Amino acid sequence: MLNEILATKRDEVTVLRLPQTRDLLRRTALDAEPPRDFLGALSVRDSHLKVISEFKRRSPSKGELAPNLDPSMMALCYEQGGAAAMSVLTDQQYFGGSVADLQNARAAMSIPVLRKDFIIDEVQIYESRAIGADAILLILAAIPEDSLLMDLHACAVSLGMGVLVEAHSEDEVERVVGLGLGIVGVNARNLADFAEDREGVAALATQIPPGVVAVAESAIRSLEDAAKMADAGFNAVLVGEALVRHPDPSSLVAAMSAVSVSSR
């Protein structure tokens, strides 16, 4: 599945890299207002779990989740519940997202917004800042070369953006920790077959140095799941499906945000 998605992204990048389009995106990114502080939002010095609340319409593994959700309404709910940041899926073909979803969500609230997509080229980072994203996701499995990963990371940081670097295995966690980056995500979902391993994620928390923000991603469907990640030492959780399907997402965010994090 990941290879299929990346093939689609390479086609999208080909269009974005047309000289006129690339130059416009770069100029717009450089002229944009300063981004909101994603790293700062996750690094607040208290003992509570930080929640990155996700806006997600569907996924390849689960199908339709909440196709008719209003991103502005959900953004307000998340912020009122105490979310530290919001993640918005912008991939259209596989996740039903859009640039408009991100822009509408960001306009409705004041917390930072992470653009969740499959970023493999610098031009996508300019596009992300141009559309208002405050942070981006970089997926190790999609970027095999450390040199490219660091170039993409440096490009985002030069624009003032936060970067969540996502790993899926012990080897990938070791790789990203070795690069000395500030935010490390560990995803419980295998991108090859979308199988989940929540326990495996919890066990990897101890590999992440105390000075790095550790984020647990995927398969967090309840307050109990979030508490397990906090007990393992994760500073933050990224939660999507549970929130978009919840009758009162603000209350679930508030409950998760009240959980105490154990040191690691």
Q: Which residues are catalytic?
A: 54, 56, 116, 166, 187, 217-218
Can you tell me the distance from the alpha carbon of 76 to that of 80, in angstroms, rounded to the nearest whole number? 6
Alpha helices in the chain (DSSP H): 2-16, 19-31, 38-42, 71-81, 99-107, 122-130, 146-158, 170-178, 198-204, 223-232, 241-244, 249-257
C-alpha to C-alpha distances, 105 to 76, 77, 163, 220, nearest whole angstrom: 8, 11, 19, 22
Q: To 10 degrees, what angle do helices 2-16 and 19-31 make?
A: 90
Output the six-digit token pair for 262.
């154990």
Q: Sign (positive/negative) of CA torsion 11, 71, 201, 172? A: positive
